[in-house]
Structure 1
Amino acid sequence: MQPLLSIAIATKDREQYCIKTIQSILSFKDDRIQITVADNSNTTKVKEFVDALASPQIAYLYDNSPISSIDNFNRAMEMTTGEYICLLGDDDGILPEAMDYLEWAKLNNIDSFCCKDTIPYFWPGAHPSYESGGLFVSKFTEGKKKVDAKKELVKLLEAGIVNYMFFDLPKSYHGFVKKDIMLEIKEKSGNFYGALSPDIFSVVAIALSCKNHYIIDKPLTIAGVCRTSTTADQFKGLHSGELKDMPHLRNRKVPYVWDKDIPEFYSVTTIWGDSGLNSIDAMKMPEYRQYFNIYPLVAQALLMNRKQILNYMIEKCEKLRKEKKIGKLVFWSRVSFSVLGLVIDKGKRMYRDSFASKSVVIENVEDILQAFKLYNQTVNKS
């Protein structure tokens, strides 16, 4: 029987988190779920765990040879056989209610849907304020909203491919997409995931491919942040510098070509911009590049990394400005207006959130399995 959902996980050297994530999914005892794991770890701990389980629901590949992170994501997706797919990190989780929404999506021939918000969970040691683990539970409705994915993509491009999580876009990472759509993307672009960021690459590619996309108000996945995650590193001011220092470039089979419209420095913001434009080219729809607005991207990068590499960022932005033959006053005044706009937008969100229902914070949550149980207890009690 074909699974209704395949959950794809690519993992490397985070064995304890991956094992707990697998256990939390299997605890649902739902044979409509398949788990595919591409493991590039230096140890065989996950392999030994999976072998001992001998579960028909798990498709597992172990290969500790040098491969890029993107190749590992593609391997995890290649093993999926479900009607719908969902890409999760090895420190993330999913709620069993997702299966009800998947039955609804299948019945109504929906290409993709995703949640307005995820459930944030900080593993022990990942956040300085929640050293013993912290889970955030907010109120929600069960509303559904149909969205024109291509129009939403244009909005994202006009916003500089910045803060994509604030847009009602489809996604495979913490989202649910028909496997047929992913196969269409692979046929057009050469693979399921490309560029440097699998989540941004697929956001753009799916938006260009799907016809029926919905946003669900109810959270269906848990966004885990472990001690060694990218999000945790951002709290420490990491992930910025020269392009050659990017871990994303390790073990790539061919040299990577950075996009000509993105300043040449390493940051989360520029990686998102580069991967988004790369996806447009890979999908052979270059007409969408006209909507890309460089100024919010530069503004966001300056705001995020000013304490680490301010002078280096300005140097590289100046290089791009000269190559594009944009006047200095025009370029930097537009960047300044974009900085102001981003600050105002953040202020508006904080103001709205202050009047919205407060999140319940549950502390001393030791792993994703306990986070799943505590979330259900809290929601049911409410």
Structure 2
Amino acid sequence: MSVLADYLVSVVVPTHNRSIYAISCVKSLLAIESDRLQVIVHDTSTDDCRLRTWVATVNDSRLLYRHCAERLSMTDNHERALEYARGEYVCLIGDDDSVSSLILDVAEYARGRTVDCITPQVKAAYSWPDFRTNLLGAAHAGRLYLEAFTGKSRWVDSSQALEGLLLRAGQGTDGLPKLYHGLVRRELIQRVVLANGRLFWGTSPDMSAAVALALATEKFLLLDIPFTLPGASGGSNTGRSALKSHKGDLRTDEHMRPFKNLRWPEHIPHFFSVETVWSHAAWETLVACGREDLLDRFNWPRLYALALFNHREYRKAIMQAAQANSGGGVMRSIASLPLISWEWLWGKLQRLAHPSASNGREVLGVFSGVDEARCCLDARIGAVARAHLNGK
């Protein structure tokens, strides 16, 4: 399949009722001075639409903004947004995130080596001023963090990466080929869509894309250069998780209500949380891609044990799911609890080794928005990271 490209990189930003973050995000992207970068914003906002008003004042042909009056689920919003990408490579981010200008250098590096998918190791992160956690309160507010990076890259076997995901019960996309905060050749995305009808399935687009890409590739490149900038804001799912409020009823939760004809199997606990949404997206994607056989390797007892440990108020729903899953089993789930407890304790001990909010990371500064943070990140790492890429 040959795909014509008008840009080198398309950065895709779905958004809904979060203008305060999205305007800063788009500013940060358009401040990258290159006509090889396309910025796509797909907006389903129903609020005062400050973003739409602001976009009307922007004179930049690289920006493609679409407002959709229909209330879409997060997954459908991502799918619609992706359709407008015209870059050779595509990166998906949230509306409180950004990317480094290095993304263009990384895309050139990938193009020259015929790399379909590059995943960066997460070494940079920005916390918006309204970000809070139960443990540290406002200690992270406005801070831009950076961990040491090496510039090294290595090939990762996609099937082994997927095996690791199944072993950890679909919890997190680390170690997988990523479109969300990754870089993927659009030709590969279109092959997946052609084969399966769409790219995103289930209730977590980042998880679904990672699973679909793992199924569609033999290998991907893991790169130790932070060419994207994840943001954590008070109004995000990350912010809710930090305050332990990212959970709720499947029918009434704000995250879940827009999903139409939602399939939710009996063996996934019937409530909304990080753990259940991740596992649901992995399950739905494997089924949609015709790989139900891999579900036999899914570590269901670990899912139930994690859910019990983190959400005791939903223990009835968790036990019902375990009983419905003959391969999971209530006793095997309960037997997994000591391991989950030890992992939690080990995490706390590791945290005590770096008791400050930075947790051993370098603090590059305190900023009011991701546009300012992105400029600082580029100034700090740009020359060093480009030297790493040019030296490979």
State the TM-score, normalized to the length of structure 1: 0.90
Find the counterpart in structure 2 of residue 343 from structure 1. 344
SS, match of residue 321 in structure 1: helix
Q: Deviation at 1:211?
A: 2.9
Partner of 2:99: 94
Q: CA deviation at 1:327?
A: 5.7
Q: Distance in 1 between matches of 2:285 and 2:19?
A: 31
Q: What do you get for the CA RMSD once the two structures are aligned?
A: 2.5
Q: How far did residue 286 of structure 1 move?
A: 1.7
Cα distance in 2 for partners of 1:51, 1:181 equals 33
Q: Which one of the candidate residues 212, 233, 239 is aligned to 1:226? A: 233
Deviates further, 122-131 or 111-120: 122-131
Q: Does 1:248 pair with 2:255?
A: yes
What CA deviation, in whole Å up to 9, does each residue of 1:106-159 have, x standing for no partner?
Answer: 111111011111411111111333475111122111000100011111111011
Q: Which amino acid aligns with 1:123?
A: W
* Residue 26 of structure 1, aligned match among 20, 24, 30: 30
Structure 2 counterparts to residues 130-209 of structure 1, below 5 A: 130=139, 132-165=141-174, 168-209=175-216
**How much does 1:380 deviate?**
7.1
Determine if contact 1:138/1:357 at 8 Å carries over to the other structure.
no
| TM-score (normalised: structure 2) | 0.87
Q: Is the Cα contact below 8 Å between 1:6 and 1:84 reproduced in 2?
A: yes
Q: Does the 8 Å contact 1:245/1:266 carry over to 2?
A: no
Superposition deviation, residue 190 in structure 1: 2.0
90-99 vs 128-137, which deviates more?
A: 128-137
State the shift of 1:213 in Å. Answer: 0.5
Q: Judge conservation of contact 1:296–1:338 (CA < 8 Å) in 2.
A: no
CA shift for structure 1 position 186: 1.7
Partner residue, 2:374:
372
Please state whether the residue corresponding to 2:255 is helix, strand or coil. helix
1:299 paired residue number:
305
Query: What SS does structure 1 have at the residue aligned with 2:200?
Result: coil
Aligned residue identity for 2:75 = I
Percent of matched pairs sharing the same residue: 25
**1:39-54 correspondence runs (5 A):** 39-42=43-46, 43-54=48-59
For structure 2, the 5+ residue unaligned runs are 385-392
- Give the CA deviation at 1:255: 1.7
Count how many residue pairs are aligned between Structure 1 and Structure 2: 372
Cα drift, residue 188 of structure 1: 2.7
| 1:235 aligned to which of 224, 242, 245 | 242
Which shows bigger deviation, 337-346 or 233-242? 337-346
Structure with greater helix share of residues: 1
Q: Distance in 1 between matches of 2:367 and 2:337?
A: 42
Deviations 1:188-245 (A, max 9, x none): 3322212110001111001101234100111111111122111111222212233223
Aligned to 1:15: 19
Partner of residue 130 from structure 2, selected from 125, 134, 148:
125
> Contact 1:111–1:181 at 8 Å: present in 2 too?
yes
Alignment gaps of 5+ in structure 1: none
* Structure 2 match to 1:317: 318
